Structure 1
Amino acid sequence: MKHSRLRFFACFTLLCAATQAGAADPLKLLYEIREPMSYRDSRGKLTGLAITPVTQAMDSAGISYAWVETPFKRQLSLVEANDEAVCAVGMFKNKERQKFAKFSLAVLRDTNRPSIMLAHKDFQPDKNLDLIHALSLPGIKMLKKDNASYGSVLDDAIERSRIAIVTTTAESKNMAMMIAAKRADFIFVPEEEALNMIRSIPNGDQLHIFKPLGMPQGPERFLMCSQLVSDELIQKFNKALPK
């Protein structure tokens, strides 16, 4: 009987220790290198427009976290699978994603960096075209990352125009290289990112920026979290976000 009690208390102690260890596990924050949103500076420190406010809020709220570099499509899969507590950083919010994910308040309101068309130099529409008419030009093709969103306004315009879409799992820099090689006519990216791509990729001189009239302001970006991330943690993070 005595040995049974000892075994019971030993197992109970181990169970409590495991539970406490699990509770202390850092929240995994998923990101991909995509300047200026997320990149490493000259000292190797992770920074960027989407990274900095998240880091500040996590530290201010006292939330334990760990950065995990993860390809975009894998980020979506991990959040939707809900096998662990993870958040993808700097994501757009749309109706499809809200079916399986929790969202923080906006971590970035990128109003000064609306998306533009990074296009092959042979793609030269009339500069007076608005977004819908530019997307409705006959014979053109848009390169789009599989399952990507560009915010509700652009997503709706793409759907309404019924433009031909070439999908890919490639990351943004490789997508720009595909445009330079004329695999499609253009991609949507923030202007600052487009300028960086033109400067840095091979054959960047084959690319240019086209801005349809009336482009929407840059959409808000969020933490997109799996359902295992508690509402209490998200609320704690929200309260600590820089105003």
Structure 2
Amino acid sequence: MLPRRAPSGLAPARPGCLARLVVALIVSVAPAAAWADTAELHVHFNPRIPYAFRDGDHIGGLVAGPIGAALEAARIPFVWEETPFSRQMALLKGNQRQDCMIGMFRKPEREKFGRFSEPVFRDSPQILLVRVEDAAAFNRYPSIRDAMQKGTFRLLVKETYSYGPAFDQMLAERTGPTVRAYEENDQMLRMLVESMADAMIIAPEEASALIKSRGLSVERFAYIKYPDTPQGELRHLFCSMQVPQATIDRFNRALTSKPR
């Protein structure tokens, strides 16, 4: 019986050539696989100057900027989604897909249903933002703890929001009047201007940017800071348990700056 010939113009493949071809194919698809093995993250944000804001098609800010850069550097596919804060928290607790929130404070109760990245930003120490004509009334308090516990001023706070462990504890112990709001900080500033409350807790960099964005004069406000004001809080990327720890680790390695 005559041996079978290869079709005209084609030489039979030799084992060594076939092995090199397989290796070449593996190498050529490796970059694509690095993206394909990670599901797309749904990264939620609120427009909140100076931490996160839209600039055309770009999402930037003190927190959103470093997070977006690290996700891209780590080759983790993601999409920005503008979502109210309470909805974001509900999505993470629901744990139905790979959802993440940006700029979150780390709290033990949150670690029960989500994963935190390493820090991406540290706030300046928070202040009490008040109308300038009311500033003198806050001189009667020697400390932030005294002001929070004994103050009779109407303190405006965001419902379901964490101001960090120290302030959260002081709020829990507070006996003075507290005005609770579900609105974002720009609307809370309006409430302060319209005398619906007397003070709000906020980082000074956010207060300055917020006042400017609303077209208001900073001279209309006073920044009240006491000697015992806690250190500014660290902000993190916070993701549902659907996001593998390996993805969080890749993100952490890609961060170019890690505040402490």
- Please state which band the TM-score falls in when normalised by the shorter chain: 0.7 to 0.9
Q: Distance in 2 between matches of 1:130 and 1:138?
A: 11
8 A Cα contact 2:63 2:120, kept in partner: yes
Alignment pair present for 1:120 and 2:134: no
Q: CA deviation at 1:161?
A: 3.4
Q: Where do residues 1-243 of structure 1 align in structure 2 (5 Å cutoff)? A: 25-41=39-55, 43-110=56-123, 113-124=124-135, 125-126=138-139, 129-201=142-214, 206-243=220-257
8 A Cα contact 1:79 1:86, kept in partner: yes
Cα offsets for 1:167-224 (capped at 9, x unmatched): 1110110001011112221111110221233334376665332112221221100111
TM-score (norm 2): 0.77
RMSD over aligned Cα atoms: 2.3
Residue identity opposite 1:76 in structure 2: M
- Cα–Cα, structure 1 residues 239 and 195, in superposed 2: closer, same or farther, change >3 Å? same
Cα offsets for 1:27-57 (capped at 9, x unmatched): 010111111111123x452111101211121
Residue identity opposite 2:233 in structure 1: P
Q: Distance in 1 between matches of 2:226 and 2:176?
A: 15
- Cα–Cα, structure 1 residues 40 and 144, in superposed 2: closer, same or farther, change >3 Å? same
Residue identity opposite 1:180 in structure 2: V
SS of 2:231 mapped into structure 1: coil
Q: Bigger CA drift: 131-140 or 87-96?
A: 131-140
8 A Cα contact 1:179 1:207, kept in partner: no
Q: CA deviation at 1:158?
A: 2.1
8 A Cα contact 1:87 1:226, kept in partner: yes
User: Percent of aligned pairs with the same residue?
Assistant: 31
Residue identity opposite 1:115 in structure 2: Q
Q: Distance in 2 between matches of 1:206 and 1:57?
A: 38
Structure 2: segments with no counterpart, 5+ residues: 1-35
The size of the alignment, in residue pairs, is: 220
Q: CA deviation at 1:99?
A: 2.4
- Cα–Cα, structure 1 residues 31 and 100, in superposed 2: closer, same or farther, change >3 Å? same
Q: Bigger CA drift: 57-66 or 129-138?
A: 129-138
Residue identity opposite 1:143 in structure 2: L
- Cα–Cα, structure 1 residues 199 and 239, in superposed 2: closer, same or farther, change >3 Å? closer
8 A Cα contact 2:141 2:147, kept in partner: no
Q: Distance in 1 between matches of 2:92 and 2:108?
A: 15
Rg: which structure is higher?
2
- Cα–Cα, structure 1 residues 36 and 127, in superposed 2: closer, same or farther, change >3 Å? farther
Cα offsets for 1:137-167 (capped at 9, x unmatched): 3422211111101111221222233443221
Q: Bigger CA drift: 137-146 or 158-167?
A: 158-167
8 A Cα contact 1:61 1:240, kept in partner: yes
